[in-house]
């Protein structure tokens, strides 16, 4: 991908067929589909790509067993079709980027025979709906087999479990890779570019948007024949910019995850906790050397700050601990994430967990704005297909087949599951680094390591307890439009998720390398690292966890 300044020059005051607003899963999917159908396309995001909901998910590629249960209980054919479509998208998502997404087994522990029969029957229906897109069949596991697979499970009264398959993926990297693939196909993508107003023709149709660069506050115009609003939780803001007074449609549900040392639930399988006090399901999923546990559900607005609270940690651990032989304590939490599910309101449903995960397309008759709202990560491609079909109709051109059903994303070409071995031998790097880089970049990992061959100092790890290497910071800045320390540590490297404390330690190194690329002075690099450290310390404080005292050379974080 081109650098940010160069991209800015190529889009400011230029005209495109399509302007996609929002660089999360939905917008990136729309931009790629639009470009691959031959439309000149620009993608704008107000912050970092994947900077909102799309990097805070449970990272599961799924039809949704809970939504299926709801569909069956309520005899809801629409909900059933949502699950069915998602199950078919699941397999496409796995095939299009095999290094970023993989099948995973989920185990539902059962402490009563009746529960085992209920889940076994329900998950057979899940298999049946997936049919040809099934990953592997669900099955009952004996008590012994269940304890072999999850040794830390509470064995008292355990009768066995039901195992079923879904997928797991790296949400932030999947999002960034969609954008890279879009750029490779000739699209233009710019982050930190907020749409703040629209211009209209005499008949009221949108002709251009005004954009504000979030770093310089300079404004410019982007003209387009069609505008796609893919801003997830912020969809109403853009709808109201296009049509002042438009009725709000979005309901936001905050979801929180915590990360724990993997030792609390060792193994390769995930666990589904089928019922919480408030009728939800919880997941405990192995994630890049940690255990990801979530999620909660609480209605919020776009004005609420999203962070993990002490109470949410207590809620998640209370439920997890009912299933574990040795209880986990709050001080074992190493990091957390909070995000807002963009749900489309349906009548007066008071409970967000009952709102459908289906998506909705709206074409505003006055302005022509095309809004794609709701949905979930797993269905991003189908949402994009629907949105771009509508764009083509809006432009008065024939609706063509979506090319994204089977379009390998960058890094998938030539990728095999043992590709990491080639990296390890070609570049003489340790196995954990090779596995980590192959899982983040696929075959593009070679380009990252080429940087380290040119400058051997870049082969060094950023912090001792995490496999990321310094070359990734340079690569993030040059090729992936990383502009801040958080862009690098959270979404591009995943270190902020691995450990808040390690992320604080990494900040000065990342600040210095990123600063070199972006032209910061040494003082700026230090103060930026310090600000980042203070931000993470605040997250630790809000979560009721011990803060990091300065031991990094970056100064006082408080
Ligand atoms: C806790 C949680 C767990 C989840 N788990 C799963 C899961 O396991 N599997 C699954 O399939 N789905 C899951 N989901 C749902 C999924 O994450 C979301 O449906 C999806 O990420 C939404 O993507 P989006 O692109 O629509 O929105 P976002 O990712 O929020 O992107 C919207 C973008 O629009 C940009 N924007 C806003 N205003 C402007 C503007 N004025 N100008 C330019 N850009 C703007 C924002 O900066 C943002 O980047 C989960 C959601 C949550 C909250």
Question: pLDDT digit string (tens) for 348-394?
Answer: 555 666 666 789 999 999 999 999 999 999 999 999 999 999 999 99
Q: What is the mean pLDDT of residues 1-30?
A: 97
Using the mean position of ligand 1's atoms as its centre, give its distance from the Cα of residue 403 in Å.
23
pLDDT, mean over the chain: 94
- CB neighbour burial string for 197-231, b if at least 16 within 10 angstroms, e if fewer: ebeeeeeebbbbbebbbeeeeeebbbebbbbbbbb
Q: What is the mean pLDDT of residues 442-470?
A: 97
- CB neighbour burial string for 44-53, b if at least 16 within 10 angstroms, e if fewer: bbbbbbbbbb
pLDDT of residue 466: 97
Q: What SS3 state is found at 205?
A: coil
Q: Which atom of ligand 1 is nearest to the CA of 47?
A: 47
Residue ranges in 245-379 assigned as alpha helix (H): 310-321
For ligand 1, whether the C-beta of 335 sits within 6 Å is: no
Q: Which residues, 6+ apart, have CB-to-CB distance to 186 below 8 Å?
A: 35
Secondary structure tally for the chain: helices H, strands E: 18, 18
For ligand 1, whether the C-beta of 22 sits within 6 Å is: yes
The predicted model scores a pTM of 0.96
For residue range 266-307, list pLDDT tens digits in order: 999 999 999 888 888 999 999 999 999 999 889 999 999 999
pLDDT of residue 24: 98
pLDDT tier at 163, thresholds 50, 70, 90 = very high
pLDDT of residue 398: 98
For ligand 1, whether the C-beta of 231 sits within 6 Å is: yes
Query: Ligand 1, from 21, 24, 270, 299: best to mutate by most atoms within 8 Å of Cβ?
Result: 24
Query: Ligand 1, from 57, 86, 253, 344: best to mutate by most atoms within 8 Å of Cβ?
Result: 57
Query: Ligand 1, from 54, 171, 352: best to mutate by most atoms within 8 Å of Cβ?
Result: 54
Using the mean position of ligand 1's atoms as its centre, give its distance from the Cα of residue 52 in Å.
6
Q: Which residues, 6+ apart, have CB-to-CB distance to 448 below 8 Å?
A: 437, 441, 469, 471, 472, 475
For residue range 526-551, list pLDDT tens digits in order: 999 999 999 999 999 999 999 987 54
Count of beta carbons in the 10 Å neighbourhood of residue 29: 28
For the chain, percent of residues with pLDDT exceeding 90: 89
Using the mean position of ligand 1's atoms as its centre, give its distance from the Cα of residue 51 in Å.
8
Using the mean position of ligand 1's atoms as its centre, give its distance from the Cα of residue 419 in Å.
31
pLDDT of residue 548: 83
For ligand 1, whether the C-beta of 194 sits within 6 Å is: yes
pLDDT of residue 353: 62
Using the mean position of ligand 1's atoms as its centre, give its distance from the Cα of residue 27 in Å.
9
For ligand 1, whether the C-beta of 511 sits within 6 Å is: no
For ligand 1, whether the C-beta of 296 sits within 6 Å is: no
Using the mean position of ligand 1's atoms as its centre, give its distance from the Cα of residue 342 in Å.
7
Q: Which atom of ligand 1 is nearest to the CA of 253?
A: 53
pLDDT tier at 347, thresholds 50, 70, 90 = low
């Amino acid at each position: 991908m081109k650098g940010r300044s160069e991209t800015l020059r190529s889009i400011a005051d230029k005209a495109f067929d399509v302007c996609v607003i929002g660089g999360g899963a939905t917008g990136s999917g729309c931009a790629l589909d639009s470009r691959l159908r031959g439309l000149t396309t620009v993608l704008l995001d107000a912050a970092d790509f994947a900077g909102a909901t799309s990097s805070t998910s449970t990272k599961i590629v799924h039809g949704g067993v809970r939504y299926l249960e709801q569909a069956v209980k309520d005899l809801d054919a629409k909900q059933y079709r949502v699950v069915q479509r998602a199950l078919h998208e699941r397999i496409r998502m796995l095939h299009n980027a095999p290094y970023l997404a993989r099948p995973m087994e989920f185990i539902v522990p059962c402490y009563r025979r009746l529960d085992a029969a209920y889940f076994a029957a329900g998950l057979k229906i899940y298999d049946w709906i997936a049919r040809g897109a099934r990953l592997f069949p669900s099955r009952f596991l004996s008590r012994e087999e269940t304890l072999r697979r999850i040794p830390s499970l509470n064995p008292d009264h355990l009768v066995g479990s039901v195992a079923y398959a879904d997928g797991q993926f790296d949400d932030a990297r999947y999002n960034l890779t969609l954008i890279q693939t879009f750029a490779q196909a000739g699209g233009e993508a710019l982050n930190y570019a907020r749409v703040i107003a629209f211009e209209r023709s005499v008949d009221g149709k949108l002709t251009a948007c005004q954009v504000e660069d979030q770093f310089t506050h300079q404004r410019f115009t982007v003209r387009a024949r069609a505008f796609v609003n893919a801003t997830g939780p912020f969809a109403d803001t853009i709808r109201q910019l296009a049509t002042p007074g438009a009725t709000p449609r979005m309901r936001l549900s905050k979801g929180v995850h915590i990360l724990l040392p993997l030792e609390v639930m060792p193994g390769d399988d995930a666990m589904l906790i089928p019922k919480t006090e408030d009728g939800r399901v919880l997941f405990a999923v192995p994630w890049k050397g940690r255990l990801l546990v979530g999620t909660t559900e609480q209605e919020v607005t776009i004005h609420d700050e999203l962070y993990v609270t002490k109470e949410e940690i207590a809620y998640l651990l209370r439920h997890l601990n009912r299933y574990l032989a040795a209880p986990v304590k709050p001080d074992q939490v190493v990091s957390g994430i909070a995000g807002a599910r963009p749900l489309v309101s349906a009548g007066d449903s008071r409970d967000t967990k009952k709102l459908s995960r289906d998506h909705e397309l709206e074409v505003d008759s006055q302005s022509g704005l095309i809004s794609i709202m709701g949905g979930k990560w797993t269905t991003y491609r189908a949402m994009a297909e629907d949105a771009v079909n509508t764009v083509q109709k809006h432009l008065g051109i024939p609706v063509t087949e979506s090319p994204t059903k089977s379009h390998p994303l960058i890094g998938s070409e030539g990728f095999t599951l043992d590709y990491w071995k080639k990296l390890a031998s070609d570049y003489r790097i340790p196995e954990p680094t090779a596995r980590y880089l192959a899982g983040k970049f696929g075959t593009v990992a070679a380009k990252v390591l080429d940087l380290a061959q040119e400058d051997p100092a870049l082969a060094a790890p950023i912090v001792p307890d995490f496999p990321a290497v310094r070359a990734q910071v340079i690569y993030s800045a040059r090729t992936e439009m990383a502009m801040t320390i958080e862009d690098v540590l959270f979404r591009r490297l995943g270190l902020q998720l691995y450990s808040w404390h390690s992320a604080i330690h990494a900040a000065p190194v990342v600040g210095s390398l990123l600063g070199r690329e972006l032209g910061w002075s040494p003082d700026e690099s230090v103060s930026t690292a310090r600000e980042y450290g203070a931000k993470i310390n605040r997250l630790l404080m809000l979560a009721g966890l011990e803060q990091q005292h300065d031991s990094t050379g970056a100064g006082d974080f408080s």
